[in-house]
Amino acid sequence: MVSEQTAADTFALLSDESRVEILRSIAIAQYEQGPSNSGFAPLSFSDIYERIDIDNTSKLSYHLGELTDTYLRKTDDGYSFTHAGEQIVRFILAENFRQPAEFEPIETEGTCLYCGETQLEAGLDDQYFMVRCPSCERPVTGYIVTPAQTRSYSGTALLDSLKRKQAVEFSLVQEGICPECAGRIRTDVLDASEQPIPEEVPVSYFTIAECEACLRRYSGPLTYSAAFRTPAVSFYWEQGVDIMGTGWWELHRYLTEGEWTAERIATDPAEYRVVLRHEDAALRVFLDDETRITRTERVHGRNID
């Protein structure tokens, strides 16, 4: 029964080169057929048989039978992917099961929150992209990099792709949607003074966001939860700053320079005010205890708080 199939059963179905080849061939064939109005068109049995190196039709029939209901959906028009099939075939085609390609450390400007160093170094640390501080040797920021990403881009183009991906994903997290699985994200705000964070780090509140479904966890300063939202992105865009194309290590200067601040203005339930400044203008963002925006205010003049 499909409904009783375990994760192990699902993956065991793929321990056969022909089946992996069938999934790959269907995806390539659908791609070559060109775009259609309703996604990809199903592929008939004979279309698949033509494209794949397999002894006879009964073998193909057997393997298609094994893949159907888990990775493939069968209709009168032929075979198409299920959700699991779609996910796994993109993973296979992108070769994201391999290791990320090694690359030389990339020099990049930013700010170390521990010592203020501005000449930083980006590199690979297992499956993580890490920006490190050469002065105090601490990690400044890190994010997941995919093997396809390290093969597709290098140097500053790789950095740009990482900045964009992290920005888009972090802004999705702020809306309560998991970038990995689209499950529900729950966010808590923590007081930095109650956490084991070095005193020199200029962050008063930070957030922990967790996916209830896949357990993926995201954390960052509370000011970033406000900065990666539409009101802040448009405020900065009008000032000539593209927040969605700026790396966290580059945004850190807003913290060390006191341009981005957060304070708790009410308890039980908690409410927070984040102020994001740019020259003599600022955006105040009010957030509840789950970082939902309750209101925003644009203000002008010096000494904004």
Indicate which single residue of 23, 89, 203, 211 sits in contact with Zn ion (rule: CB under 5 A).
211
Q: How many CB atoms lie within 10 A of CB 44?
A: 13
Q: Which is nearer to Zn ion, 39 or 134 (CB)?
A: 134
Say which DSSP state 192 is in: G
CA dihedral angle for residue 162, residue 168, residue 170, residue 171, rounded to 10 degrees: 160
Q: Which is nearer to Zn ion, 82 or 135 (CB)?
A: 135
Contact letters (x/-) for Zn ion, 112-141, by CB under 5 A?
A: x-xx-x---------------x-xx-----
Give the helix/strand (H/E) hosting 142.
strand 139-144
- φ/ψ of 68, rounded to 5, equals -70, 140
Q: Which stretch binds Zn ion (CB under 5 A): 34-42, 102-110, 175-183, 202-210?
A: 175-183
The distance of closest approach from Cβ of residue 180 to Zn ion in the complex, given in angstroms and rounded to an integer, is: 4
Indicate which single residue of 12, 214, 265, 266 sits in contact with Zn ion (rule: CB under 5 A).
214
Q: CA gyration radius for the chain?
A: 24
Q: Amino acid identity, residue 167?
A: A
17-32 helix and 57-67 helix, angle to the nearest 10 degrees: 90
Indicate which single residue of 20, 172, 181, 281 sits in contact with Zn ion (rule: CB under 5 A).
181
Residue recorded with tokens 């393997």? 63
Residues near 12 by Cβ (< 8 Å), separated by ≥ 6?
none
The distance of closest approach from Cβ of residue 181 to Zn ion in the complex, given in angstroms and rounded to an integer, is: 3
Residue recorded with tokens 């601040």? 261
183 in contact with Zn ion (CB under 5 A)? yes
Q: Which stretch binds Zn ion (CB under 5 A): 10-18, 51-59, 216-224, 262-270?
A: 216-224
Contact letters (x/-) for Zn ion, 66-105, by CB under 5 A?
A: ----------------------------------------
178 in contact with Zn ion (CB under 5 A)? yes
The distance of closest approach from Cβ of residue 124 to Zn ion in the complex, given in angstroms and rounded to an integer, is: 19
Find the farthest-apart pair of alpha carbons in the chain and give their distance in angstroms, rounded: 78
Q: Which residues pair with 18 in a beta bridge?
A: none
Q: Which is nearer to Zn ion, 64 or 112 (CB)?
A: 112
Polymer length in residues for the chain: 305
Residues lying near Zn ion in the complex (CB under 5 A): 112, 114-115, 117, 133, 135-136, 178, 180-181, 183, 211, 213-214, 216
